[in-house]
Amino acid sequence: MRKKLLLALIAGSCISAASVASSSDFIQAHLFPGSIYFNNQPANKQSGAFELLNYNGSVYVPLRYITENMGGRVHYDEAKKDIYIDRRVNNLTKAKISVSKQADNFVLNLHSEKETYKTNDIIHLWSSLIYLGEEEITVGHGNPIILFTVRDEEGISSDEIIETVLIRDQLKKNNEYEATLPLYIIESYNYNKKGRPNTKEFFEKEQPWLLSPGKYTIGVTADFKIDGDKKNKIIKSEITIQIEP
């Protein structure tokens, strides 16, 4: 098995940091032949995005790749040599504010964990679309069926991307779709807010998945079509949150 030298400082993460190192700062590690699976789906090692390392019987994995594939984000502070990991924790969550919008046999709910967040908080909003009709129906929609948007008081916004595919679902009474505000929408908003700067510098120097102080409107739109109807059914709802220093 081939051997590889790596800086002990990075300890298996894929974050690179330029530094001057003496011979004592190096260790020897073996390439690990196994694979990583996310929900039983193999990660793509063939792309060359990462290597797995075996050092003293422990497997070291690329921190950024693993974290982002589990829905989190990683920021490296080059000046302090600190690594920040932000992710949602799947604890029992109580909504502080909620709104509902009903249209015919559908209810679109939107919830926020807090009314006021701090600038270093992960923004946690989630939504559900529930069918209340008695008869079984078929609906067609893109992916996802629930779309989020973030908008500030100046009107700068970012919308969730929808895949141009057609998904058809059979719905019975109380069938429900659920969705959580994706972090990439906040990243996209901040990118637009800063005038679309150099992408590499934007992600390296900041934590763009966090919001700066101010008031924001988080909206959701459910866009779908019921078999037999001529027009799409569009339901919208929104919540206003405050971000404080």
Q: Classify residue 45 by its DSSP letter.
A: G
pLDDT at 243 over 90: yes
- The full DSSP string for 127-144 is EEEEE--SS-EEEEEEEE
- pLDDT value of residue 42: 80
Q: Is 227 part of a structural domain of the chain?
A: yes
Q: What's the rounded Cα separation, in Å, for the pair 95 and 180?
A: 13
Which residue reads 């984000």 in tokens? 73
Q: Is 159 part of a structural domain of the chain?
A: yes
Q: Is 81 part of a structural domain of the chain?
A: no
Threshold 0.85, pTM exceeds: no
Number of domains, the chain: 2
Q: Is 128 part of a structural domain of the chain?
A: yes
Between the alpha carbon of residue 174 and those of residues 99, 133, 170, 186, the distances in Å are 18, 8, 12, 31
Q: Is 46 part of a structural domain of the chain?
A: yes
Q: What's the rounded Cα separation, in Å, for the pair 48 and 38?
A: 18
Task: For residue range 95-143, list pLDDT tens digits in order.
Answer: 999 999 999 999 999 999 999 999 999 999 999 999 999 999 999 999 9
CB atoms within 10 A of CB 15: 17
Beta bridge partners of 244: 118
Residues 48 and 136 in one domain: no
Average pLDDT, the chain: 84
Residues 107 and 225 in one domain: yes
Task: For residue range 69-86, list pLDDT tens digits in order.
Answer: 777 888 787 788 888 877
What is the enclosing helix (H) or strand (E) of 241?
Answer: strand 233-244
Residues 61 and 161 in one domain: no
Give the range of the structural domain holding residue 213, as residue numbers without chain letter: 97-243
Residues 38 and 148 in one domain: no
Domain boundary among 18, 53, 70: 70
- pLDDT value of residue 203: 79
Q: What's the rounded Cα separation, in Å, for the pair 222 and 178?
A: 11
pLDDT at 13 over 60: no
Residues 160 and 228 in one domain: yes
Residues 63 and 124 in one domain: no
- pLDDT value of residue 153: 96
- pLDDT value of residue 9: 28
CB atoms within 10 A of CB 187: 20
Least confident of 8-12, 20-24, 105-109, 199-203: 8-12
pLDDT at 39 over 80: no
For the segment 8-36, the average pLDDT, to the nearest whole number, is 59
Task: For residue range 155-195, list pLDDT tens digits in order.
Answer: 999 999 898 889 999 999 999 999 999 999 999 999 999 99
Q: Is 84 part of a structural domain of the chain?
A: no
